[in-house]
Amino acid sequence: MCAIRLRELGVKSVIFDTGKRGPGGRASSRKFEFSDSEDKFSFTADHACQFFTAQTPTFKRFVQRWENEGYVKRCFENPSDLSLIDLTDSEISHEKPTARVPRLSQESLGIPGFVGVGGMGALWERLGESLEIHTDTWVASARRHDGTWRLFKDSRGEKELCPEREFSAIVISHCGKCAERLMRNANAPAPHRILRARFGPKQPSPHILQIQSVFVLVAAV
């Protein structure tokens, strides 16, 4: 999103993404293909972000454009989505024989939900067609010198990414701990101080960001 907005403002940017199949990060999809003696079939699973909402005026304008271009579509609009799922005792436990679990709907969300047409990953593949993206690329370290930035594949700063180019600014879209590691030896003490983070269930310090694990289960039925 940052690169798209910068492009609209006339600022050229370069994206380095660790994804092997394409950009997207937490909004990625994976295609599964199966075959038997007679037929072949496939399906796409969004293995992180399942849907998203648009709440700010700026993001709403982006999403409206994507909807008009057929990149995204609204979800939870079907009346059947307002129904309740009956789960039997064999599906939950013998101590609680039945339960009623409400499905997500626009009524429960309060605002429209959106999904990518062809999967969440397809949205970012389409949006990235006009951007310079280097996939399967890990930025291990960054160095600031004379007001510009240089990026490296290794932590020692010996294997430079795009050695013929210098960057006036960098935007880190990563978890706190990886962002802190990038800034640790970057000659940028101020951003490094605010990026200090630790994994764990308890807050280590008021000045350190607490990060907890997120577990995602993907199931195809």
Name the region of 3 (left: φ>0; alpha: ψ -120 to 50; beta: rest): alpha
| Nearest CA among 183, 203, 202, 199 for reference residue 191 | 183
What predicted TM-score, i.e. pTM, was given to this entire model? 0.68
Cα–Cα distance measured from residue 97 to residue 61, given in angstroms and rounded to the nearest whole number: 46
Along the 221 residues of the chain, how does pLDDT read in single tens digits? 888 888 889 998 999 888 887 777 778 888 888 877 778 878 888 878 888 888 899 899 999 999 999 999 998 766 554 443 343 444 444 444 444 445 555 665 667 889 999 888 889 888 888 889 988 888 888 888 888 899 999 988 889 998 888 899 888 877 667 788 888 888 878 877 777 777 777 766 777 777 766 655 555 44
Backbone angles phi, psi at 34, to 5 degrees: -135, 160
Question: Which residues does 119 contact at the CB level (< 8 Å), separation at least 6?
Answer: 29, 31, 44, 45, 46
